Structure 1
Amino acid sequence: MPTVAIVTCAELPDLDSDETLLLEPLRARGVDPVAAVWNDPAVDWDSFDATVVRCSWDYSRQRGRFLSWARTVPRLHNRAGLLEWNTDKRYLGDLAGAGVPVVPTTWLPPGTHVELPDAGEWVLKPSIGAGSRDAGRYLMGDVAQRERACELVSRLHAGGATVMAQPYMDDVDVNGERALVYLDGVFSHAVRKGAMLDGPYEGDVELFKAETIAPATATEAELALGKIVMDTIEGEPPLYARVDVVGTDANLLLLELELTEPSLFYTHSEGAAERMADAIAAKLAA
């Protein structure tokens, strides 16, 4: 029986509750799944027939160590090169350069003069981060909020982080974000995610922030954008990917392409965990 490591973090040694739904479908396909913490020195990664990154949600605070680990793991999904590219959101610039319609983003590296907008509503966050950590939503015309935005940028710069500034997409408050899930390059299902940021940065959040999730039916326009995004990924299709989009069908924009440790929302689509198990089994058989 082939053995597959399902990678997690020390805070979730038994996996996230959604990810545990994958275990029985894998066993039903003759695969032995083992939860393994990515930075546990006792784990022998060579002993697994495949290693699947799923719940390594603490990587952003130790990205260098995480990538060093990924480069040493054989038969890793998603592959280390994709993880390195995808764990810094400056990849959005690469996608925009390839013609993908991306939420407009301004990059503010440390050591450079920063001139924040003086009007409108903006999101500020580090280019290397996960969930809502170190992220805030600011009304730049409000003196107090603009001052807090400047404080966040200064603090992130002091820590060596590049800050990304994006106009807040008002449509999120009405229609939410739509997340399109792909397994082995094939569209599987979609969900609607409610707005995550409701104001300025208020301090560190937990490992992850609870989200409002509901099943969704992807529109033809969303699937078309998803295909454009997935077609930019070089080499064989990743085992899993999540394409997060915002806006209306007439003006859809990519918010993020998640290839590292995205929630795949198995509970919101019948058979989703089974489809993921099939994709893993197919990688083992290849």
Structure 2
Amino acid sequence: MNSVLLATSRDWPAGEPGHETLDKALIARGIDARWAVWDDASVDWVGADLVAVRSTWDYMTRSEEFLAWVHSVEATTTVLNGADVFQWNLDKGYLARLGDVPVVPTRLVVSAAELEATVAEFGDVVVKPRVGAGGIGVTVVRRGNAIALPDAPVLAQPLVTTIHTDGETSVFVIGGEAVSMVNKVPGAGEIRVHEQFGGRTTEVAMSGPESVLALEALRAAAEFTGRPLDYGRVDLLKYDGNWCVSELEVTEPGLYLDVLPANAEVFADLVAARLG
């Protein structure tokens, strides 16, 4: 029986929300899978036939340590997507490298003067840490307010007001296919759609334009390493009347298994295929 380790973090030792559906799907395919905390020194990563990085949601403050761990595991074991993919995906500066793919306008800023110029260009802007997740450290800088650059490297994007009307759409691409989609809306007084900030997530029917753009974005991102990506979640916002990419999550995107239990079956099929 093939052995698979699903990497998680100490805050989620049993796995991501809804993990029971993935556990069952892997067992049904004859796969011996268990969740393991990525920085637990007692875990025998070398003994696994495959490692899938899942809910390692503490990596953003330890990115160098996380990447070193992935490289060490990948030296002897197959890792889905892989260390070189995680390397570029941890820094949201990749948004400036997607070629002709429609992306929410993104400026990589390293000084308060550059941030001030971005505010002059777009008006109200959203400032995000270039290395971060879960909406942590995301702020809004409004035109006319005092501007101070955060300590860490940041990117700035125009505040997309449709977040309050259309929300954010996320398309899950697994094994090269767009398989499911959710819509996420922020809570009152927020622009962040994450549950910890009051956001709500609901399943929506697959739609052509969004799925086509998601596939286009992952194909463009695949050029960074020269091979197709195993999985990814593409977050989209409607900007100037068109869907645009706001982020690509290809390191540890939550599968929203509590909302989309069918994602477990597709992800388990991917794991089985990669095991051969």
TM-score (norm 1): 0.85
The aligned residue for residue 168 of structure 1 is: 159
Long gaps (5+) in structure 2: none
1:53-95 C-alpha deviation (Å, 9 max, x unpaired): 0000011101000011111112011211000010100010111
Shift of 1:266: 2.5
Q: Equivalent of 2:81, from 70, 78, 87?
A: 78
2:109 aligns with: 108
Secondary structure at 1:252 match in 2: strand
Q: 1:172 to 1:35 in 2, by over 3 A?
A: same
Q: 1:47 to 1:169 in 2, by over 3 A?
A: same
The Cα shift of 1:199 comes to: 5.4
Aligned match of 2:179: 188
Q: Deviations over 1:151-197 (max 9, x none)?
A: 4x2xx32xxx2111111111111111110001111111000011379
Q: 1:270 to 1:23 in 2, by over 3 A?
A: closer
Instruction: Show the counterpart of 1:225.
Output: 213
Determine the C-alpha separation between the residues in 2 that align with 1:12 and 1:209: 18
Aligned twin of 2:126: 123
SS of the residue corresponding to residue 175 of structure 1 reads: coil
CA RMSD of aligned residues (A): 2.5
| Cα distance in 1, alignment partners of residues 187 and 126 from structure 2 | 11
Offset of 1:32 from its aligned partner?
1.0
Question: Which digits, 9 at most, give the CA deviation of each residue in 1:217-236, with x for residues without a partner?
Answer: 23221122112112111344
**TM superposition shift of 1:209:** 4.9
The 5 A counterparts of 1:1-150 are: 1-73=1-73, 74-95=77-98, 98-109=99-110, 114-115=115-116, 117=119, 120-141=123-144, 146-147=145-146, 150=147
CA contact (8 A) 2:177 2:215 kept: no
- Gap regions ≥5 residues in structure 1: none
Is the CA contact 1:104–1:167 (under 8 Å) kept in the aligned structure 2? yes
> Per-residue displacement from partner, 1:97-134 (whole Å, max 9, x unpaired)?
x1111111111126976525257321111100001111
Moved more, 239-248 or 78-87: 239-248
**Does the 8 Å CA contact 2:173/2:215 hold for their aligned counterparts?**
no
> Does the residue aligned with 1:115 lie in a helix, a strand or coil?
helix
Which residue of structure 2 aligns with residue 216 of structure 1? 204
Contact in 1 for aligned 2:164/2:191 (Cα 8 Å): no
Measured against aligned partners, the alpha-carbon deviations of 1:236-271 in whole angstroms (never above 9, x if no partner) come to: 432220111111795111001110111112333452
Counterpart-to-counterpart distance in 2, 1:50 and 1:44: 12
- Give 2:201's aligned amino acid: I
Tell me: CA distance 1:162–1:198, structure 2 relative to 1, closer, same or farther (3 Å).
farther
Cα distance in 2, alignment partners of residues 197 and 120 from structure 1: 22
Kindly tell me: are residues 85 and 65 of structure 1, through their superposed partners in 2, closer, same or farther at Cα, counting changes over 3 Å? same
Distance 2:198 2:176 in 1: 27
| Number of residues of Structure 1 aligned to a counterpart in Structure 2 | 267
Compute the displacement of 1:273 (Å).
0.9
SS at match of 2:134: coil
C-alpha distance in 1 between matches for 2:123 and 2:190: 13
> CA contact under 8 A between 1:58 and 1:207: conserved in structure 2?
no
Q: Does 1:179 align with 2:170?
A: yes
